[in-house]
Amino acid sequence: MATVSRSVHIALLDDHALFRQGLRYILQSLPYVETVVEAATFAELLAHCRQRLPDVLLLDLQMPEVDGAEATRLLLAEFPDLKIIVLSMFSADKFITQMMKLGVRSYLPKDSDQEQLSQALEAVLLTGHHFTPSISRALMRAVQHPTRQQPTTLPHLVQLTPRELEVLHRICQGRKASEIADELFLSRRTVEGHRQNLLEKTGAPNSAGLVVYAAQHGLLPE
């Protein structure tokens, strides 16, 4: 299994000092984490991002001035490549689906242990996303039981090539680009090209959006 081979810079946005300090201690014990910066307010984080963009941002949903959803919108509008992982006490489907659709790379409960956090970080750094069983279930329930308050914004079914469909199926199964490349006897660059074509054709913002699109249009692998 691939591991993170470069030094990374992590940022934390949470208004609880003790939680930030504990999380920082855990992060600094990971071999690939070089630096960790803490921010108690969105303004502090924004100033830091403009000075040095972190490799990953760990974001709380409940903030006193700018909530997690609005913070995500603002940050990704200015820094579209920023990788955000939500750490929250809220585990309801509506929070998970909202944040995944906004473009965060993973969503973890605050009671996650060190191993779960490390797995999420490594997956996001290596593949760009990390789907937990909770995320997958929330996305599937959102598709199977849509509400009037959650209209789909994805386009109608588009024409996918057989190869794009094969890549889509494996993305839905949680495969990494390197694994897809090995299974389909392709280069990783070719796989990334197919993924980019899928994003452009479907209008999905990220891999989570591709899973939603596949579920909505009956394209999930059997």
Query: pLDDT tens digits, residue range 56-81?
Result: 999 998 887 788 888 999 999 999 99
Backbone angles phi, psi at 201, to 5 degrees: -70, -40
C-alpha to C-alpha distance for 44 and 40, rounded to whole angstroms: 7
Question: Which of 216 and 3 is assigned the larger pLDDT?
Answer: 3
Alpha-helix residue ranges (DSSP H) falling in 84-203: 93-102, 114-127, 133-144, 162-172, 177-184, 188-202
pLDDT digits (tens, 9 = 90+) for 10-25: 999 998 899 999 999 9
**C-alpha angle 90-92-97 in degrees, rounded to nearest 5:** 105
Q: Residue 1: is its pLDDT beyond 60?
A: no
Q: Say which amino acid occupies 1.
A: M
What confidence category does residue 202 fall into, taking pLDDT thresholds of 50, 70 and 90? confident
- When the pLDDT of each residue in the chain is averaged and rounded to a whole number, the result is 84
The total of other beta-carbon atoms located within 10 Å of residue 15's CB is: 15
Q: How far apart are CA 180 and CA 167, in angstroms?
A: 7
User: Residue 117 region, left (φ>0) first, then alpha (ψ -120 to 50), else beta?
Assistant: alpha
Residue 100 or residue 49, greater confidence: 49
Which residues have CB under 8 Å from 128's CB, separation 6+? 83, 105, 206, 207
Q: What is the mean pLDDT of residues 114-120?
A: 91
Q: What is the DSSP letter of 91?
A: -
Q: Averaged over 169-185, what is the pLDDT?
A: 87
Residue, of 152 and 104, whose pLDDT is higher:
104
Beta bridge partners of 38: 12
